[in-house]
Each structure stands twice: as structure tokens, then as C-alpha cells.
Chains A and B, each alone.
Chain A
Amino acid sequence: MVSYTLKRVGAALLTLLLIMAITFFLMNAIPGSPFLTEKSTPQQIALANAKYGLDKPLIVQLKNYVVNYLKGDLGTSLKMQEGTPVKDIIFHQGKFVLSIKLGLISLAVAIIIGIPLGCIAAYNRGTWLDGFLRVMTTVGVAIPGFVLATLLLATFAVKLHILPTNSGQLTDWKSYIMPIISMSFYYVCYVAKLTRTSMLDAINQDYIRTARAKGVKTKMIVLKHALRNSLIPVITYLGPVTAGIITGSFVVESTFQIPGLGKYYVQCVMSRDYPVIMATTVVLSALVIFMNLVVDIAYKIVDPRITLTNKEA
């Protein structure tokens, strides 16, 4: 188990390094400069570039990033909040907390509503209920987030005036409702679809017949015997999604005017704030990698047949 963990950590670091390199070259491939404004002269830009080391060869710049990251230094913002350490921007200004809060609640909603919906659909396969859920989940997966967010906003905030248009810092429960729905609806539907499919597969297995032959109650057959066996695809899906969802959604944060990390990330790319782009990408990637590890461990808990290391097999 120890060597397994070490291997995974090593692989994770290597992956991060690769991601840094790719992000770095991609972001430099975008034309423009953080210092380019209507008034700036070429001399000023050159001076600023020199100050922040952007005049050095790309490979040297990349090396500097890596070395600084290893020291725990994420650099300072060039544009968005000039001179502020990136670390503070990401972790100390409440942006990340806002996004995490929204993300975790949306994730919980996706699991708490999506999985039971999938079970209900699978168990009532072929009935009107299943048909209704199938239409709903298909629509939910197909409808883009910004359409849903805008529709909600137009209906409940603008027309009916029961919910605030500006969710802001998410101070009261009302401000959570629309952002959560817009963020989680897609995931609810996707999880429901996944659960339904794998549940149907599980329900037709021989061990379900055995359970019925034992006289197990239908509810228990679904909840105990079928569900656990059908969770694997759902877990596979939810792992990386978790990382994505808690780092914020640009669309939702923009629509409801929540100053979260997702919105900020996109603004950084727009303004070529290189250190912030880099840091946000690395943090997000680290989260994805970490969630993948969590998923692998969750597999093992759900299905005892899965071994994490070759030695265990």
C-alpha cells in the first residue's frame, strides 16, 4: 500500500509538471500581453516584460515557474490585481470558498437526487414514470447551463420577483437556489441516466435472482444488492466532475454575479494574467488528480474484487 501510494504521488507530480508545460506554452501562444493597453508604448511594454522576466526565453520562464512552485511561491498577479500574490487571490479572497461552497452543494444535490431518480427509473422500466424521467434527463443533459440559468433568472427573479437577481456573496438561502439548480441540473440528469443504465444491468444479474429466491424485500434488493453493484460507473464519473464542479462554473458565476474562482479564471485568461492562469490551472489539475485517487480508493470500498496493487491480487 505504501509503495502504491508513493507511485501514485510520483505519477501525480509528473502529470502536474506536464500540465504546467502545456498550459505555459498554450498561454504564450495566445497573442497579446498583460501590459498591452491603448496607451502603452512599445518601450513601456518592453520595460514591464523585463521587470517580470517575460523577456527571457520561454524555456527559462517555464523553469522559473517550476522552481518557484516547488518553493511554494505562486508568483504575483500582473494585471487583475497587480502586485497581489497569486496565492492570496486564490486562497484568501473568498473566491475559492464561494466556488467550493456552490460546487459541493451542487454535487450533493446531484448525488442525492440523481441516484434515487436513476433507481426509480430502472425499477419502473417501461412505465410512464420511466418515460417521463428519460425525457427529463435527456433534456437536462442537452440544455446548456447558460440557457437554464437565464431562464431561471428571467422567470423567478425578473418576472416573479421571488428570488434575487444578484446572488453576490451568497449571504442568504434565497441566493443559493438558482445558482445551485443551474449548476446541478445537468449533473442530476447525467447521474440519473448513468444509475439507470447500470442499475438495469445489475437487476438482470443472477445474484438478484438469488436474493429474490431468498425472499429479500424488493426495496432491499434494489438498495442493497443492485445499487452497490451499479455505483461503479457513477463513481468513475463523479470523481473528475467533483474537481471541476468545486472550482466553479464561469457561466453560473457570471449569470448570478457571484465573485467565484470560475469567473475569475476566465477573466484572467482574457487579460493574459499569466501567473494567475498558471496557478489556477495547477490548482484545478491537482484537484482532478486527487479526486481520481479518491475514486480509485472508493472503487475498492464499493467492490471488494478490485485490487489496487498487483501484489494484492
Chain B
Amino acid sequence: MEETKKNLLEVKDLKVSFFTPAGEVKAVDGISYNLGYNEVMGIVGESGSGKSVEAYSIIGLLQKPGKVVGGSITFDGQDLLSFDEEQMRNIRGKDISMIFQNPMTCLNPVYTIGNQLMEALQCHDDKITKEEAWDRAVHMLELVGINNAEKRMTQYPHEHSGGMRQRAMIAMALISEPKLLIADEPTTALDVTIQAQILDVMKDIQKRVNTSIIFITHNLGVVAEVCDKVSVMYAGKIVEQGDVNDIFYDPQHPYTKALLASMPRLDEDGHERLIPIEGTPIDLLNPPQGCNFGPRCKECRKICLSKKPPYADLGNGHISACWLHFMEGAAKKEEA
């Protein structure tokens, strides 16, 4: 039990299900993590692994038929799941902000950038004057690297490029200096050069406004660039979690290893073939009895198909949910 340093966000055994006509889909199935102040955590996983759903449940934007069915979310000492809609609204945009994947559709096309930025302040502070809000918005736009901020304030979203809009989104999310920023694939819809710029902006601004970030992505390169620690998600569960260096240089879970092997590396010699992960993600309506990754795993054993693996503590906060960690060398061979 390490309770020495207080965490900004503590997620314990969070379970989120979607109740569809076909049955209950366990989109997030018991995930836990802690996020410290000023910490940047990456959540990596393929599409449908529950990354975004998990984020939406923190900020209270989960849409029907999705529902948090278990666990707890403690943010800055407050139990978020006990909050009603009005209390959550007060937290949203003020203490927890979010930026989204597609900047092209995330800004309201019929209002100016300035109007939308100022709104983020005004809806939490009735007393703020227009001038004050305007000045802060301009300052924020300058901070995220938008030139000519005064003029940009009066322009509409369609007069900005994708990168510009994402910068404006970041400015909007950070304008009220939230304690936590959830970035849901903020660079996915942008081209690579713009991606790099946006990441720089985020890294830079994170240091300036001292905010913690949950960075959701399926791009491991992005994670390596900005995150302090990483949670790897697969089919609604965190399969491996640890310091960013541990995850990249010493991955323990077969899924993490496979993910890393499937992406090109600049530091390797020659032209190594990329190794795809065979098969498709499991059907969350009928999850397997054993390890969710079992059916696709190259090192799958008998036990993997019949029982869910517990987490193995590998030290330094590095955990991995795989049966392999619980088998001694000899037993491993026998099993196979």
C-alpha cells in the first residue's frame, strides 16, 4: 500500500458496460490506475479496447446506453461517481477538460473561435467581464502558438486549418487551467508534421500550466514522446502498466510485445519485417473465459484459455496481467 503521495486521480476497478439489445457489452472491465499531479499517462490500445469509454466516464460524458456499473473514480479527493449532473458540469471544463480526435468537427461552425474560447471561461464564472475573458483567450491562443491571435479570435472555425483548430481546442481546454486534461487521440486526424507540432505544444503547455494529462492514443510513437507512464489496454482491461521506459524497453506482456513488434523502428538496423498481430479483437458480447488476448497470443498456454490472469507486480509500478509471469522456467516448458 503506497499512500505516501496523494494522487490527482484514482481509478479503482472501473467497470463500464453498454446495454445493447444484443446484450451487455463490457467495454471497460475493471481497470485501475493512479495518476499523480503533473503526470502524463498514456492509454494505448487498438480501436474498441475501451480507451475512450474509460475517459468519457471520468468526465461524465458517457452516452446512453453506456453506464458505469462498478468501481470508483476519485478525483482530487472527490468521488466523481457520486456527483449529479450539475456537479459534474461544474467540474467539466474547469477542473477536468477534454480534447477530442477530430478538430474539424469539434468546433461549432457558426460561432467564432473567440466566442467559443470565452464561453469556456464564462460558463464557469458569471462575474468575469467580457474584456477579461477576451484577454485570457488571446493569451491562451498565443500560448498554443497561434499567430495573430486577436484576429483569429474573430474568425470562424472554417477559416482555420486542422492544426490551427486543434491548437484552438487545446487553448479552449486549458483556458480555465484544469487540473486534468484528457486528450482523446488529439493528433490522430492530423498529418504527421502537424502531429509533431501539436505534441510540442502540449508538452510545452503542460509544463507551463501544471496540468496532469491522460493521453489516449493508438500511436505508440506519440506515447514515447509525451508520456511519463503508460497503460496498455486490450478488450476493456489494462494488460500492462508501467513507466514509459519500462514499457518500451522491457515490455512483459505478450500483447505489448506484439504491439511494439508491429511498428517500425528507426533505431534498428536494416529492413526488419513488421510483425502484425494475427486475428481480430474478441467479441465483447461473448468474452472468452480465460485471458482476453489468449486467442491471439503466440505464447498462449492451456490455463490462459480457462482462467483470467491476475496482475504480476514486476516492481517500480510495473504490472502485467499474464500467466507467464507466474510460471517458473521448467513449468513453462511442461505446460507447452
CA distance A303 to B111 in the complex (A): 9
Residues of A within 8 A of B169 (CB): 210
Q: Is the CB of A305 within 8 A of B108?
A: no
Known: A213-B59, A214-B92. A304 touches B100 (CB 8 A): no
Could you say which of B109, B124, B172 has the most chain A C-beta atoms within 10 Å of its C-beta? B109
Residues of A within 8 A of B92 (CB): 212-215
Q: Is the CB of A207 within 8 A of B90?
A: no
Q: Is the CB of B156 within 8 A of A210?
A: no
Q: Is the CB of B123 within 8 A of A206?
A: no
A209 interface hit (Cβ, 8 Å): yes
- A44 → B minimal CB distance (Å): 65
Residues of B within 8 A of A228 (CB): 110-111
Q: Is the CB of B98 within 8 A of A229?
A: no
Residues of A within 8 A of B61 (CB): 209, 212-213
CA distance A33 to B91 in the complex (A): 77
Q: Is the CB of B108 within 8 A of A303?
A: no
CA distance A205 to B108 in the complex (A): 9
Taking CB atoms and an 8 Å cut-off, the chain A residues in 188-233 that contact chain B are 205-207, 209-218, 220, 224-225, 228-229
Task: Count B interface residues, CB 8 Å.
Answer: 29
Q: Which residue of A lies closest to B88 (CB)?
A: A215
Q: Quick one: which of A210, A216, A220, A303 contacts B100, CB cutoff 8 A?
A: A210
CA distance A224 to B97 in the complex (A): 20
- Range class of the A interface residue count: 20 to 34
Q: Which residue of B lies closest to A220 (CB)?
A: B123
Could you say which of A206, A214, A225, A228 has the most chain B C-beta atoms within 10 Å of its C-beta? A214
> 5 closest A-B pairs (Cβ-Cβ)?
A215-B93, A214-B93, A215-B92, A206-B105, A207-B108
List 18 additional A-B contacts (Cβ < 8 Å) besides A210-B172, A211-B119, A225-B108.
A206-B102, A207-B108, A209-B100, A212-B61, A213-B92, A213-B100, A214-B97, A214-B123, A214-B172, A215-B93, A216-B119, A217-B89, A225-B111, A229-B109, A229-B110, A303-B110, A304-B158, A305-B110
Q: Which residues of B contact A (CB under 8 A)?
A: 59, 61, 85, 89-94, 97-98, 100, 102, 105-111, 119-120, 123-124, 156, 158, 169, 172-173
21 A/B residue pairs, CB under 8 Å, sorted by A: A205-B105, A206-B100, A207-B106, A210-B172, A211-B108, A212-B92, A213-B59, A213-B92, A213-B97, A213-B98, A213-B100, A215-B94, A215-B123, A215-B124, A216-B123, A217-B89, A218-B85, A220-B123, A304-B109, A304-B156, A305-B158
